[in-house]
Amino acid sequence: AQKITQTQPGMFVQEKEAVTLDCTYDTSDPSYGLFWYKQPSSGEMIFLIYQGSYDQQNATEGRYSLNFQKARKSANLVISASQLGDSAMYFCAMREGSRNYGQNFVFGPGTRLSVLP
């Protein structure tokens, strides 16, 4: 079974509008971390935002916010006021386990976001 699911292979959004990128995850570990990364066409991986499983509030970083619904095991990324430079691949990732510090990340397949002028 896939640990991280991103059901939207591609998304379009008009410049200046908000967009939500979906991510659902699967884990039985009570302690885990959820991350979003952006990969522009140049190829580098850029960290965007983090949400811990015990965090009471949804994470926010500038125009990025994470809609964390723990019971539904979803961690959707919301980008407000989209800009042309937001066009990129977006990956959701999870790290499991408070006992397994340093464990690797599991990545989803990604969503390609295209911002239209």
Partner 1 sequence: NAGVMQNPRHLVRRRGQEARLRCSPMKGHSHVYWYRQLPEEGLKFMVYLQKENIIDESGMPKERFSAEFPKEGPSILRIQQVVRGDSAAYFCASSPPVTRDNNEQFFGPGTRLTVL
Q: How far is the CB of 25 from partner 1 (least distance, A)?
A: 13
Cβ nearer to partner 1, comparing 20 with 55: 55
C-beta of residue 59 within 8 angstroms of C-beta of residue 70: no
**Least CB distance from residue 16 to partner 1, whole Å?**
28
| Closest distance to partner 1 from the beta carbon of 116 (Å) | 21
What's the closest the beta carbon of residue 5 comes to partner 1, in angstroms?
11
Q: Which is nearer to partner 1, 82 or 111 (CB)?
A: 111
Say if residues 8 and 110 touch (Cβ distance below 8 Å).
Answer: no
Q: Is 35 helix (H, G, I), strand (E, B) or coil?
A: strand
- What CA–CA distance (Å, rounded) separates 55 from 33? 10
Q: In Å, what is the CA distance from 85 to each residue of 10, 27, 79, 108?
A: 16, 33, 12, 22
Rank residues 11 and 52 by Cβ distance to partner 1 and give the closer one. 52
User: Which residues form the interface with partner 1 (CB under 8 A)?
Assistant: 4, 31-33, 35, 37, 43-45, 47, 50, 52, 91, 93, 95, 97-98, 101-110
